[in-house]
Amino acid sequence: MSPSRLAKVLLLAPALTSLIAVAEGQAAFIDKFRIPVPGATMPVELAVAPDGTLWFPMKFGNALGQINMQGRITYEGVSIYTAEPFGVATTPDGSIWFTEAREAQIGRRMPNGKILEYRVPTAESYPTVITVGPDGALWFVELMAEKIGRLDPAKGTFTEFPLPEKESYPKAIVAGPDGALWICMGGSNRIGRMTTDGKLTEFNVPTPDSGPYRITVGPDKALWFTEILAGKIGRITTDGKITEFTIPTPKSGPRGITVGPDGAIWFTEGAARKIGRITMDGEITEIDVPVSADELRPLSYGLLPSDPAGFLQGIVTGPDGNIWFTDSATQKVMRVNFGGPTGAVPLED
């Protein structure tokens, strides 16, 4: 199916906080860019494309958003109004791959703008996070089906690998440094390692009911993950040894996680409205994301009964060397800007 074409664009002067300390000898500002779509859009995950732009699915907006390093946002509708696009990954050919959670499909935006869709074999499987595997295939979690899916991009064919535990609820997946896929299993409180032929090894997270949520590969070749319910950051080596680090702010609800330009691990704290940074030796720094005047009203409402109002979600390091993240409540993409204000409008207290 061809998507409904939306061609709206906005260039917004970013709102800046006062100068904030990040680490010794380092400081930054927070830039905010509003998504030009009426109503709730709920931007979720983020991925860097080969052309140096960032792409983000809008779950409630049923669209794909794109933002360049100057803050110019464009967006395109997907073909099904009820798709609920969620996860996103990019490939070197310029394709943007995304999950359609509600419709149980994997979408592919071709470099020419055409969108192809592939239906996941298991109906109502609710695919969310997606990544490019070590074999060049697209791997994704099927949250409600409790499976790991694999899509061959050349053939358009699927393979599914059921997880052994009931209520494992896989939340995230990433290609590891060891040629395997690493999985956050939020329901069973485990980190999984799956080979490309589907063999699964599981490791228990020491803190009970910690809710492992998102995962990334660190510069130390270990896997780092957020524990959304425990308020911790976990680290697991490829041989299965887990270390946990407690975030200073209680009930911070850590979500997205990525490697920063400084070699530290950066993460969003959804419930606390903070951005966290943890060094390889476990030292944690937190940055408050101030609330600007236009955000007061949306932050007074909860997005979903199970989620705090105003959660910060996806996070990546952009080609400009800054940290970019989404705010699902205020319909914005934000940036931890290490380069200074450069003519932007200061944020009012």
Nearest-Å Rg of the Cα atoms of the chain is 19
Q: Rounded to whole angstroms, what are the CA distances from 146 to 131, 240, 306?
A: 17, 22, 20
Q: How many CA atoms lie within 13 A of 97 on its CB side?
A: 24
> Tokens standing for 283?
């030292």
- Neighbouring CB atoms inside 10 A of 240's CB total 12
Residue 344 has pLDDT above 50, yes or no: no
DSSP codes of every residue in 54-67: EEEEETTTTEEEEE
What confidence score (pLDDT) does residue 302 get?
52
> Tokens standing for 291?
């609330």
Least confident of 46-55, 151-160, 296-305: 296-305
Arithmetic mean of pLDDT over the chain: 87
Cα separation of 52 and 72, whole Å? 13
Residue 126 has pLDDT above 50, yes or no: yes
Confidence of residue 339 (pLDDT cuts 50, 70, 90): confident
Find the mean pLDDT for residues 39-54.
Answer: 93
Confidence of residue 82 (pLDDT cuts 50, 70, 90): confident
What confidence score (pLDDT) does residue 78 get?
86
Residue 307 has pLDDT above 60, yes or no: no
Ranges assigned E (strand) in 169-309: 170-175, 181-185, 190-194, 200-204, 212-217, 223-227, 232-236, 242-246, 254-259, 265-269, 274-278, 284-288
Find the mean pLDDT for residues 128-145.
Answer: 98
Place of tokens 């509600």: 102
Cα separation of 135 and 326, whole Å? 29
What confidence score (pLDDT) does residue 144 get?
97
Whole-model pTM? 0.90
**CA dihedral of 298, 126, 82, 12, whole degrees rounded to 10:** 40
> Tokens standing for 269?
């704290």
For 194-240, the pLDDT digits (tens) are 999 999 999 999 999 999 999 999 999 999 999 999 999 999 999 99
Would you call 235 helix, strand, or coil by DSSP? strand
Cα separation of 144 and 162, whole Å? 11
Q: Are 140 and 130 in contact (CB under 8 A)?
A: yes
The whole-angstrom distance between residue 113's C-alpha and the CA centroid of its chain comes to 23
**pLDDT higher for 255 or 37?**
255
What confidence score (pLDDT) does residue 26 get?
60
What confidence score (pLDDT) does residue 305 get?
38
Closest-CA residue to 216 (of 172, 185, 275, 246): 172
Q: What amino acid is encoded at 313 in this protein?
A: Q
**Domains in the chain, ordered, with CATH?**
9-337 (2.130.10.10)
What confidence score (pLDDT) does residue 57 get?
96
Count the residues in the chain: 349
For 173-194, the pLDDT digits (tens) are 999 999 999 999 999 999 999 9
Closest-CA residue to 54 (of 64, 40, 62): 64
Closest-CA residue to 44 (of 27, 60, 22, 21): 60
Q: Which residues of 330-345 are buried (b: 16+ CB within 10 A; e: fewer)?
A: bbbbbbbbbeeeeebe
For 50-79, the pLDDT digits (tens) are 999 999 999 988 899 999 999 999 999 887
What confidence score (pLDDT) does residue 59 get?
92
Which DSSP letter does residue 43 get? B
φ, ψ of residue 294 to 5 degrees: the values are: -75, -5
